């Protein structure tokens, strides 16, 4: 005999199988350890659930739920699901991200400071020896500050 299906074991534990099928499963359980363990676990579950009493909802529960779902026009609101709405939601998210990125990029560019001029750089280093915006003068003034880092001028 093949192993009984999980649902069939549940039916056997609940006592809802025909006597012939129940006898066949009992014969199989006597010879098969894994199925016997499954049946034992099912029996334990059913024993635990035997003490549980199910309370049924009021007969008018669904009409109350439906009434809460109705809007002022009397139509039942439905959740917008399915792949077309997923595409719409994804497109909206992409557009929102692009708009936020565009606005953030414009804001950053408006606040960006360009590269410093040689005069600004000289003032920051307190190099008053440079009176004009002379790259050659800047290189000469920085040579003592950074030995070996500046290339020598080849003329």
Query: Residues 27-53: pLDDT tens digits?
Result: 999 999 999 998 998 888 888 777 666
End-to-end Cα separation, the chain, in angstroms: 99
The reported pLDDT for the residue numbered 114 is 64
This prediction has a pTM of 0.34
Q: Where along the chain do its domains lie?
A: 6-50
* Alpha helix stretches (DSSP H) within the chain: 6-14, 19-31, 33-50, 61-69, 83-111, 118-124, 135-142
- Using H for helix, E for strand and C for coil, what is the string for 25-41? HHHHHHHCHHHHHHHHH
């Amino acid at each position: 005999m093949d192993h009984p299906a999980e649902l069939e074991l549940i039916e056997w534990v609940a006592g809802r199988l025909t006597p012939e099928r129940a006898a066949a499963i009992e014969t199989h359980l006597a010879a098969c350890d894994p199925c016997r363990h499954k049946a034992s676990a099912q029996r334990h579950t059913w024993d635990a659930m035997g003490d549980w009493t199910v309370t049924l909802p009021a007969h008018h529960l669904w009409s109350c739920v439906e009434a809460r779902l109705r809007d002022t026009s009397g139509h039942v609101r439905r959740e917008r699901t399915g792949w077309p709405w997923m595409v719409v939601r994804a497109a909206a998210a992409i557009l929102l991200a692009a708009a936020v990125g565009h606005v953030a990029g414009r804001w950053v560019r408006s606040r960006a400071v360009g590269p410093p001029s040689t005069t600004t750089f000289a003032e920051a280093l307190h190099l008053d020896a440079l009176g004009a915006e002379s790259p050659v003068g800047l290189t000469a003034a920085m040579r003592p500050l950074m030995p070996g880092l500046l290339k020598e001028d080849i003329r």
